[in-house]
Structure 1
Amino acid sequence: MIILIPIFYFGIINTQVSLKYETSILGDCVSQITGRNLCKDIERGKVLIVIDIIVIVLLMLFRKKIIRG
């Protein structure tokens, strides 16, 4: 679970690079190459990081109950 945070963060950085080089107008979010909405991909990555942190915290809080079964 913890390993997912750097992976999602790398995805956000990668998408920001795509946002810089694949759009022609500053503030535009749609890639001219793939046609994807890159701003939506960045937001999705941020949401996935938050969800992963919440899951990690919940697993840490309930680890004794989970281990006991």
Structure 2
Amino acid sequence: MKRSYFKILITVLLILIPVFYFGIFNSKVSLTYETNNPGDCISLITGRNLCQDIEQMKILIAVDIIIIVLLMLFRKKIIRD
């Protein structure tokens, strides 16, 4: 992989972290306004399980960070000039 492609990949992965965090924030706002009780997780408007969406976003952030760390650890083996 060329160095420029590697930098683009790392940049995209870094940009995804705030996007996933915004997804968590958005789901928490929906959880506040689209449910009757604070303990409910199912949206009355869309019918989606908002608690599951929040957990999936947390997992995606963790996987994203792990991929970034692994790419940085093995960058000398990955990058071929």
Residue 64 in 1 paired to residue 59 in 2? no
What is the distance in 1 between the residues matched to 2:38 and 2:25? Answer: 17
What is the distance in 1 between the residues matched to 2:38 and 2:52? Answer: 16
Correspondent of 2:50 among 9, 23, 38: 38
What is the distance in 1 between the residues matched to 2:37 and 2:24? Answer: 20
Question: Post-superposition shift, 1:68?
Answer: 2.7
Structure 2 gaps, min length 5 = 1-12
What does residue 35 of structure 2 align with? 23
Structure 1 gaps, min length 5 = none
Alignment RMSD? 1.0
- Identical-pair percentage: 71
Correspondent of 1:5 among 5, 17, 26: 17
Question: Post-superposition shift, 1:26?
Answer: 1.6
Runs of 4+ in 1 over 4 A off after TM superposition: none
1:3-60 Cα distance to aligned partner (Å, 9 max, x none): 0000000000000000000000121000000000000000000000000000000000
Which structure exhibits the higher relative contact order, with contacts defined as CA atoms closer than 8 Å and separated by 6 or more residues? Answer: 2
TM-score normalised to structure 2 length: 0.83
